[in-house]
C-alpha cells in the first residue's frame, strides 16, 4: 500500500522574523511543490530516500540522524508506535523547491510527509496535518513560528496567525530571485534574538512598525474582497489607502515591501549580495525585499509584466530567478 501527498513551497510577503516575536505576517504558497510517497515494508526499519541522500535505521531507534532527516524519522516513529502491526516504513521525497533558500522546502516536506505517512493509517483533517507538521518541524527548528507550515497546508495568501485567505481577486507579479547563498533559519533567528536582547526598546518599536505596515497591506489587498461597510470601521486606513490608490495598488504594495526591507536591514539579516540584487532591480521594480530568514536565500520583487525580460540581464547569470504563481490548493493527497 502506498500513500502520496504533495505540498507547496512558500514566500513571506511581509513580516518574517518579527512574526517569531508575535507580530502578524503575510505569506503566499507558490507553485513549486514537494511530493512525499510512503509505503509499508517488512524490514523493521524506517527508510528515507531524498535528493539529500538515503537513511535507513531501525524503528524506534534513538539514533542521532542528520537534521534534514529528523522530521521524517519523528513522524514515522510517532505513527508506527500507535500502530503496532506495522513492520517498517519507506518514505520517498521528490521536490522541485530549492533547498535552504527561504522558499519553505523544509516546511513543505513536513506538511507533505505528515499527510503522506498518516494517509497509510487514517485521513487527517488539515488542522491535524498542520499541528503534526509543526511538531515535526520543531525537531530541526524548535523556535519556528509555525507560519510556513500553515501556508504550506492551506495554500493561497494568508495572514498568519489566522488562516484567513486574502487578496484572492488580486494577482501580484512577483519575481523570486535566488542569491544562491544557502542560509540557516536557526542562525538568523538567533541573531535577531541577540539584536532584541541588546535593544529591547528599538526592537519593540520595529515590531509595532511591522504590525502597522501589515495593517495597511491587508487593507490594500482586501480592497476588492471586502464587503461594503468595512471602510466605515476603519476610516483612517481607508483614507490613507485611497490616497495611495492614486499611485495604484501595486505601487503601494511595492513601497510597503521596500519599507519592510528597511526593518530587515536594521535587524541585520541582510548582506551585500542581497542589497546588490535589490538595487540592481530598482529601475524596474516597484519594491523588493528579502523573503524568509535572510543572510542569503531569496529576494522577492514586484515587477511589471513588460519588464520581466530585463531581469536576468540586471541580476547577472549567476542568480536563479523565476516568476511566482500563487498556489491555492495547499496540501493534497495524490
Ligand atoms: O526558513 P525561512 O527562510 O523560510 O524563514 C522562516 C521565517 C522566519 O520568520 C525567519 C522564522 C519563522 O519561524 O517564522
Percent of the chain surpassing pLDDT 70: 92
- The tens digit of pLDDT for each residue in 110-161 reads 999 999 999 999 999 999 999 999 999 999 999 899 999 999 999 999 999 9
More confident residue, 227 or 259: 259
Mean pLDDT of 283-290: 95
Q: Which atom of ligand 1 is closest in space to residue 146's alpha carbon?
A: 13
Euclidean distance between CA atoms 279 and 132, whole angstroms: 40
Distance from the alpha carbon of residue 44 to the mean position of ligand 1, in angstroms = 35
| pLDDT band, very low/low/confident/very high, at 246 (cuts 50, 70, 90) | very low
Q: What is the pLDDT of residue 225?
A: 52
| pLDDT band, very low/low/confident/very high, at 224 (cuts 50, 70, 90) | low
| pLDDT band, very low/low/confident/very high, at 82 (cuts 50, 70, 90) | confident
Pocket test for ligand 1, best of 8, 10, 11, 12 (most atoms within 8 A of CB): 12
If you average pLDDT over each of 57-61, 177-181, 238-242, 313-317, which comes out highest?
Answer: 177-181
More confident residue, 242 or 283: 283
Return the beta strands (E) in the chain as ranges. 2-14, 25-40, 45-50, 53-58, 89-95, 157-160, 174-178, 285-291, 298-303, 320-324, 332-333
Q: Which residues contact 271 (CB under 8 A, 6 or more apart)?
A: 181, 294, 295, 296
- The tens digit of pLDDT for each residue in 166-204 reads 876 567 789 999 999 999 999 999 999 999 999 999 999
pTM (two decimals): 0.90
Q: Which atom of ligand 1 is closest in space to residue 143's alpha carbon?
A: 13
Distance from the alpha carbon of residue 25 to the mean position of ligand 1, in angstroms = 11
Residues with CB under 6 A from ligand 1: 12, 16-17, 19-20, 102, 104, 144-145, 147-148, 185, 189, 292-293, 297
Q: Which atom of ligand 1 is closest in space to residue 192's alpha carbon?
A: 10
Amino acid at each position: 500500500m502506498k500513500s502520496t501527498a504533495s505540498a507547496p513551497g512558500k514566500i513571506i510577503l511581509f513580516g518574517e522574523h518579527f512574526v517569531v516575536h508575535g507580530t502578524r505576517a503575510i505569506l503566499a504558497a507558490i507553485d513549486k511543490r514537494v511530493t512525499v510517497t510512503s509505503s509499508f515494508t517488512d524490514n523493521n526499519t524506517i527508510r528515507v530516500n531524498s535528493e539529500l541522500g538515503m537513511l535507513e535505521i531501525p524503528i524506534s531507534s534513538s539514533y542521532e540522524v542528520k537534521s534534514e532527516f529528523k522530521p521524517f524519522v519523528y513522524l514515522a516513529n510517532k505513527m508506527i508506535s500507535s500502530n503496532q502491526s506495522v513492520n517498517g516504513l519507506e518514505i520517498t521525497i521528490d521536490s522541485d523547491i530549492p533547498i535552504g533558500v527561504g522558499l519553505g522546502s523544509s516546511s513543505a516536506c513536513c506538511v507533505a510527509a505528515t499527510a503522506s505517512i498518516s494517509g497509510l493509517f487514517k485521513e487527517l483533517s488539515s488542522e491535524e496535518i498542520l499541528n503534526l507538521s509543526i511538531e515535526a518541524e520543531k525537531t530541526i527548528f524548535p523556535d519556528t513560528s509555525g507560519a510556513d507550515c500553515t501556508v504550506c497546508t492551506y495554500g493561497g495568501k494568508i495572514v498568519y496567525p489566522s488562516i484567513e485567505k486574502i487578496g484572492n481577486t488580486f494577482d501580484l507579479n512577483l519575481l523570486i530571485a535566488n542569491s544562491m547563498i544557502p542560509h540557516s533559519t536557526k542562525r538568523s533567528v538567533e541573531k535577531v534574538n541577540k539584536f532584541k536582547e541588546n535593544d529591547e526598546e528599538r526592537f519593540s518599536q520595529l515590531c509595532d512598525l511591522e504590525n502597522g505596515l501589515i495593517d495597511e497591506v491587508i487593507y490594500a489587498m482586501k480592497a476588492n474582497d471586502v464587503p461594503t461597510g468595512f471602510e466605515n470601521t476603519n476610516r483612517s486606513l481607508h483614507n490613507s489607502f485611497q490616497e495611495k490608490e492614486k499611485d495604484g495598488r501595486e505601487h503601494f504594495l511595492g513601497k510597503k515591501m521596500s519599507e519592510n526591507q528597511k526593518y530587515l536591514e536594521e535587524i541585520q539579516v541582510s548582506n551585500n549580495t542581497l542589497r546588490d540584487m535589490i538595487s540592481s532591480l530598482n529601475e524596474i521594480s516597484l519594491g523588493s525585499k528579502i523573503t524568509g530568514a535572510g543572510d542569503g536565500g531569496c529576494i522577492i520583487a514586484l515587477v511589471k509584466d513588460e519588464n520581466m525580460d530585463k531581469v536576468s540581464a540586471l541580476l547577472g547569470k549567476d542568480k536563479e530567478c523565476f516568476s511566482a504563481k500563487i498556489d491555492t490548493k495547499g496540501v493534497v493527497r495524490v
